[in-house]
Chain A
Amino acid sequence: MTPFRLYKSIRSFSTTVDKIANLVKKNKVVVFMKGVPDSPKCGFSNAVVQILRMHDVKYDAHDVLEDESLRQGIKDFSNWPTIPQVFINGEFVGGCDILLEMHKNGELVAELKKVGITSALSENEGSQEKKSKD
């Protein structure tokens, strides 16, 4: 790689990181997924959408299939090899498996509450959402 190309690739890498750092802070809940919430293009992305829908959470969604630099960039940014990725309050919380587990054990309701979002499943506060199904 010539020095110039190396410089260019470093520069584009840092631009992507800056861009993502801004994106994850734009809303309390931000999701990077394949497809869009109304039409997810991957089972795992779909699962995340369904979980957030159950909690009636409003969130920003970014389709990584529309932007190859975002698709790789988000993996580098969070040091996480898979998509979807969920951020709450600018912090990476996990992918599909983790969100599902947090949904089951009540942690998701608690995390959302910390950032001022009342989950639709939080009517029995503190009861770890016994009503939700496994």
Chain B
Amino acid sequence: MYVCCYKEKNWSTLKSSYQEVVDESDGCGIKFSVIVVSSAFEGKPLIHRHRSIHSLLEEELKTIHAFKQKTLTPAEWEGKKEMIKSSTS
């Protein structure tokens, strides 16, 4: 299930080419996972990529209890998307 406020987030600040936000708590909104694919992640360690997601979702994270994220460059996404999609669906 997708939640609109997350969809309306300004993902373009991350130069994101693909993002997926899944509410894993059946709509009650406390457990989320996100996948973000962005060229802005090139050459950046995972910790920096995650920090940029934290900044974007700063307000939401105050109320989310459980949060998982995958942050990939377009090249990494090409290599892994089948695996990731099957593991999250």
Listed in ascending order, the chain A residues whose CB lies under 8 Å from chain B are 42-44, 79-82, 92-98, 101-102
Contact = CB atoms under 8 A, between A and B. Distances in A.
Given A81-B61, A82-B61, A98 B47 contact: yes
A98 B50 CA distance: 9
Given A81-B67, A97-B46, 6 more contacts: A81-B54, A81-B62, A82-B67, A93-B47, A97-B50, A97-B69
Interface of B: 46-47, 50-51, 54, 58, 61-62, 66-70
A80 B54 contact: yes
B72 to A, nearest CB: 11
A80 B47 CA distance: 10
A97 B68 contact: yes
Given A81-B61, A82-B61, A97 B70 contact: yes
Contacts of A42: 66
Nearest to A107: B46
B61 A94 contact: no
Contact of B66 (A43, A93, A102): A43
Contacts of B70: 97
A58 B68 CA distance: 26
